[in-house]
Amino acid sequence: MPTKKRIHQLTVGQFEAAFPDEDACCAYLVAHRWPEGVTCPRCGATNPHALGNWHWQCYQCAPQTSYRFSHIAGTIFENTNKPLRDWFRVIHLMLASKKGMSALQIMRYMGFGSYKTAWYMCHRVRAALIEHPEKLAGIVEVDETFVGGKTRNRHKDRRGDRGGTGPNKPGGIGSGKTPVVGAVQRKGNVVARVIATVSTELLTGFVKEAVSHKVSLICTDQWSGYKRLDVEGYPHEVIHHNNGQYVNGVVHTNTIEGFWSIFKRGVVGSYHKVSRKYLPLYVAEFQFRYNNRANEDIFGTAISGC
Ligand SMILES: [Zn+2]
Q: Which of 24-28, 99-103, 175-179, 300-304 bottoms out in mean pLDDT, i.e. has the lowest?
A: 175-179
| Residue 148 belongs to a domain | yes
Rounded to the nearest angstrom, the distance between the alpha carbon of 19 and the centre of ligand 1 is 29
Residue 262 included in any domain: yes
Q: How far is the CA of 70 from the centre of ligand 1 (A)?
A: 12
Do 136 and 167 form a contact (C-beta atoms < 8 A)?
no
Q: What is the pLDDT of residue 135?
A: 98
Let me know if residue 55 belongs to a domain: no
pLDDT category at 175 given cuts 50, 70, 90 is low
Q: How far is the CA of 22 from the centre of ligand 1 (A)?
A: 26
Rounded to the nearest angstrom, the distance between the alpha carbon of 224 and the centre of ligand 1 is 54
Residue 119 lies inside a defined structural domain of this protein: no
d(CA 185, CA 139): 6
- Residue 87 burial by CB count (10 A; 0-12/13-18/19+): exposed, middle or buried? buried
Residue 51 CA to ligand 1 center (angstroms) comes to 14
Query: Are residues 102 and 271 in contact, defined by beta-carbon separation less than 8 angstroms?
Result: yes
DSSP for 63-77 reads TTT-EEEETTTTSTT
Q: How confident is the model at residue 8 (pLDDT cuts 50, 70, 90)?
A: low
Share of the chain above pLDDT 70, in %: 88
Domain CATH code at residue 186: 3.30.420
Amino acid letter at 89?
Answer: R
Interatomic CA distance for residues 111 and 91, integer angstroms: 15
Q: 125: CA distance to ligand 1 center in Å?
A: 26
Report which of 208, 202, 140, 210 is spatially closest to residue 171, judged by C-alpha positions.
202
CB atoms within 10 A of CB 256: 24
Report the candidate in 101, 36, 282 with the shortest Cα–Cα distance to residue 182.
Answer: 282
Nearest to 195 by CA among 260, 265, 150, 147: 147
Ligand 1 centroid to 205 CA: how many Å?
A: 40
Tens digit of each residue's pLDDT (9 = 90 or more) over 227-275: 999 999 999 999 998 888 889 999 999 999 999 999 998 887 777 678 8
**Distance in Å, CA 38 to ligand 1 centroid:** 11
| Interval between CA 60 and ligand 1 midpoint (Å) | 5
The answer to whether 192 and 287 are in contact (CB under 8 A) is yes
Residue 187 lies in a domain: yes
Residue type at 121 in one-letter notation? M
Q: Is residue 228 part of a domain?
A: yes
Residue 169 pLDDT > 60: no
Report yes or no on whether pTM surpasses 0.95: no
Q: Is residue 177 part of a domain?
A: yes
For residues 145 and 263, is the Cβ–Cβ distance under 8 A? yes
* Cα of 127 from ligand 1 centre, angstroms: 25
Output the CA 37–ligand 1 centroid distance in Å: 14
Do residues 48 and 56 touch, judged by C-beta distance below 8 A? yes
Q: Domain containing 235: what range?
A: 139-276
Tens digits of per-residue pLDDT, 100-150? 899 999 999 999 999 999 999 999 999 999 998 899 999 999 999 998 865
Contact 93, 101 (CB under 8 A): yes
What is the strand order of the sheet 67-70 is part of?
Answer: 49-52, 55-58, 67-70
Measured in Å, residue 41 CA sits from the centre of ligand 1 at 7
Q: Is 257 exposed, middle or buried (0-12, 13-18, 19+ CB in 10 A)?
A: middle
- Distance (angstroms) between ligand 1 centre and the Cα of 50 equals 13
Helix 103-110 × helix 115-128 angle, to 10°: 120
* In the predicted structure, residue 3 carries a pLDDT above the cut 70: no
- Residue 306 domain-assigned (yes or no): no
Structural domain total, the chain? 1
Q: Residue 273 is which amino acid? A: K
Distance CA 59, CA 306 (A): 25
Q: Report the separation in Å between the CA atom of 304 and the middle of ligand 1, taken as the mean of its atom positions.
A: 21
Spacing, Cα 72 to ligand 1 middle (Å) = 15
